[in-house]
Amino acid sequence: MKAIGLIELPNCTDAIEALDIMLKTADVRMLTWEKKLGGRLVTIIIQGEVSAVTEAVEAAKHRAVGKIVASAVIANPHEETMKLVAVSAKKYPKLQQADNIKNFE
């Protein structure tokens, strides 16, 4: 079963550090990220098996330097949820993430 994990931090530096922790902790991959309020809130979205995503998000919550504003793990997300993620990913064509989101299984 696939899942997505979301973690929101107060700035880009903390978000990159949290992403590094998540990627090193479990078999997950980054789907996209969102910057809001001029980069004062950054949301990282990852994908993987439910257990891997849960482990990665928990590791980031416990080991990240910045204060975690919010976090969530969504097991087996609805296709409408994934459409919202795809809209975000299309903002970064060099990452070519949107095609990976369509193949979400």
Local mean pLDDT, 10-residue blocks, the chain (105 residues): 92 92 95 80 95 96 88 95 89 61 53
User: So what's the pLDDT on residue 66?
Assistant: 79
Phi/psi at 73 (5° precision): -125, 125
Distance of CA 39 to CAs 11, 33, 36, Å?
6, 11, 5
User: So what's the pLDDT on residue 65?
Assistant: 83
User: So what's the pLDDT on residue 98?
Assistant: 47
| pTM for the structure as a whole | 0.84
Residues whose CB falls within 8 Å of the CB of residue 79, separated by 6 or more in sequence, listed in order:
none
Residues whose CB falls within 8 Å of the CB of residue 33, separated by 6 or more in sequence, listed in order:
15, 19, 42, 43, 44, 45, 88
